[in-house]
Structure 1
Amino acid sequence: MTAAAPVVTVSGMLCDTALWDDVRAAFGPRVSDVVPTAPSIGGMAEEVLAASDEPFVLVGLSLGAIVGFEVLRRAPERVTAFAAMSTNAGAPTKAQRAGWATFDAQTRRGGFSDVVRDSILPTMFAAPEPPAQHAGRFTEMAERVGPEAFRRQLAAQATRTDATASLAEVDVPTLVLCGTADALCPPEFHRRIAGAVPGAELHTVQGAGHLLPVERPAEVADHLTDWLTRCRIPKGNPCPNS
């Protein structure tokens, strides 16, 4: 990996490029953002691979990191380093599938804003009723993503498989970052991911919820800056993972 390697960010469900606004300076000058909207994880992985014509650092949150697992499986030679935040490498549960089907049906009937406000927003931050600025930031992103893209993202979630076994083949510097108060993807999910990827480093943000770059941007930026600085060393020298 060289200092010139670009960063490709991959946003979580119902998030757009604004997810990264407060941590963008950590990435350096060459950044491409992907808001995944294909109706399958494989299709989303192809959206990411199309974002850069050279090897890149992949930074994903939630669904974005799940897509990152598939990118690494399909084209490991394209990824020079990988940061996974607030995510889950496991296959969907029966309860998750039922919940996504309910969200899809509500959205199809015109209830998109209700789904966002009443069902999804309470899981995005450390508290079910987050500060107004955080709630507004998320709901504005969700409205920009819109109901049709949301339904495709739900369809993609249903195509997930357990990525844990393939993580043992990951051979790039890997950062795993989570909040200790994440209601969707608790720390044990991230311990499993970090344990599966050889040499991965795991960091937790105390008291933080799911949307780490919005809720705790300074700490997230510090972790990213430190990690990328250690990884962006002359080619031929290993990136320390400790």
Structure 2
Amino acid sequence: MSATVPSRTVCRRTAAVRTGDGARLHATVEGAECAPVTVVLAHGWTLSQAAWDDVATLLADRVAGGELRLVRYDQRGHGRSTWASPRHPEPALSLDRLGADLADVLHQLAPTGPVILGGHSMGGMTIMCLAAARPELFGDRVAGVALVATSAGDLTSDPRSAAGRMARLRPGALNAALAGARVLEKLRTLVPPSSPRHRKVVRELLYGADATDEMVLAGAEIMHASTLRSFIEFMPALGDHDKRTELAALSRVPLEIFVGDSDKLTPPRHSRQLSEALPEARLHRAERTGHMLPQERPQLVVDGLLRLVAEAAAERAVA
């Protein structure tokens, strides 16, 4: 990763968050319990909490200094988190389930004090699902939100977009791929992230013109560590995601929206739609930047998170 390593020591621990359907979410908690504000970061599809490493590195001095506490977690079926228990079968996976997971993370790892939520891609959609299902949390527990390279819905209507092309995969083909996952996982090892061909595909799909080879390799390795199951099972849920008429709770808190001008998965029109629906939001469009904005422009994201932290701390001081 490209960010400079800070000199101060950060206290860190891992935790397992139990969900109502038996999934266990792997989380990393950094900083003191008594910090005035907790920042909780949710990652995107086929990634893991490691996608926030550059942002976490840039925040480390603030965490070590006691200004904030940082929580990152792996979404269910990603990273070191599990799927639901077989005792709790779910007919179809939805992003609403991820919103409920985020509520469990807040309840178990940040039960008191103001919280700033940051979500990249599917992580931003997770926050929208939480806002739709639990609006009472926003303006009370949740004091600010950063939405990074994400969408409120209508991901697949443009057949020219990367998401639109993926949506053309028929359910039967996805089910067949899932049934043959073991074979396909072995085939994936034939073209690892170290392969120039692998990195070329990742760069063209996910990164902007200024992305370094180091960034692309790091992102490719994070995605390669994800399973084929997470790719297949979440794809229909992403296509079904639509919270465009359920964003009212987000209007109660300071909101930062970030998008790269070269984003092919959640193109800038999605962030424009969010800012039109939430006109008080601050919209940031990064030039020569793709979908992996937390890697490509981590300082831009950190600056936005710190603005939200400062606003939350000031509000708390007044109260």
**Alignment check: 8 A CA contact 2:35 2:69 kept:** no
Equivalent in the alignment of 2:76: 37
Alignment check: 8 A CA contact 1:8 1:57 kept: yes
Range moving further from structure 2, 118-127 or 143-152 = 118-127
Is 2:315 aligned against 1:234? yes
Aligned pair count reads 235
User: Is 2:60 the counterpart of 1:6?
Assistant: no
* Equivalent position SS for 1:165: coil
SS of equivalent to 1:177: strand
Q: Who is 2:204 aligned against?
A: 122
Say whether residues 1:58 and 2:112 are aligned partners.
Answer: no
Which runs of 5 or more residues in structure 2 are unaligned? 1-33, 78-92
Contact 1:3 1:233 in 2 (8 A): no
Shift of residue 198, structure 1, vs aligned partner:
4.7
Give the letter aligned to residue 17 of structure 1: Q
Q: CA deviation at 1:188?
A: 2.5
* Structure 1 residues 93-172: aligned runs within 5 Å: 93-94=156-157, 95=159, 96=163, 99-100=166-167, 101=169, 104=174, 108=178, 109=180, 110=184, 117=198, 121-127=203-209, 131-161=212-242, 163-170=243-250, 171-172=252-253
Whether the aligned pair in 2 keeps the contact of 1:34 and 1:47 (CA below 8 Å) is: no
Q: In the TM superposition, what is the alpha-carbon distance from 1:156 to its structure 2 partner?
A: 2.4
Shift of 1:120: 5.3
How far apart are 1:3 and its partner, in Å? 6.7
SS, match of residue 178 in structure 1: strand
RMSD after superposition: 3.1
Name the CA shift for 1:229/1:192 in 2 (closer, same or farther; >3 Å): same
Q: Measure how far apart 1:121 and its partner are.
A: 4.8
Answer yes or no: is 1:81 the counterpart of 2:140: no
Residue 220 of structure 1 deviates from its aligned partner by 2.4
Work out the CA distance in 2 between the residues paired with 1:48 and 1:71: 7
Identity of aligned residues (%): 23
Name the SS of the counterpart of 2:241 in structure 1.
Answer: coil
> SS in structure 1 opposite 2:46?
coil
Moved over 6 A (4+): 113-116
Q: Do the aligned residues in 2 keep the contact of 1:11 with 1:64 (CA within 8 Å)?
A: yes
Please list every run of 5 or more consecutive structure 1 residues that lacks an aligned counterpart in the other structure: none
In the superposition, the TM-score normalised over structure 1's length comes to 0.82
CA distance in 2, matches of 1:209, 1:10: 18
- RCO higher in 1 or 2 (8 Å CA, sep ≥ 6)? 1
Cα distance change of structure 1 residues 3 and 232 upon mapping to structure 2, 3 Å threshold: farther
**Alpha-carbon separation, structure 2, partners of 1:15 and 1:69:** 19
| Residue 102 of structure 2 corresponds to residue 48 of structure 1 | yes
Q: CA deviation at 1:153?
A: 2.2
Q: Quick check: 2:146–2:304 contact (8 Å CA) kept in 1?
A: no
What whole-Å deviation, never above 9, does each CA across 1:39-96 have from its counterpart, x for those lacking one? 3101111111111223632100111101111111111233321110101112342544
Instruction: Please give the TM-score of this superposition, normalised by the length of structure 2.
Output: 0.64
Distance in 2 (alpha carbons) for counterparts of 1:105 and 1:214: 32
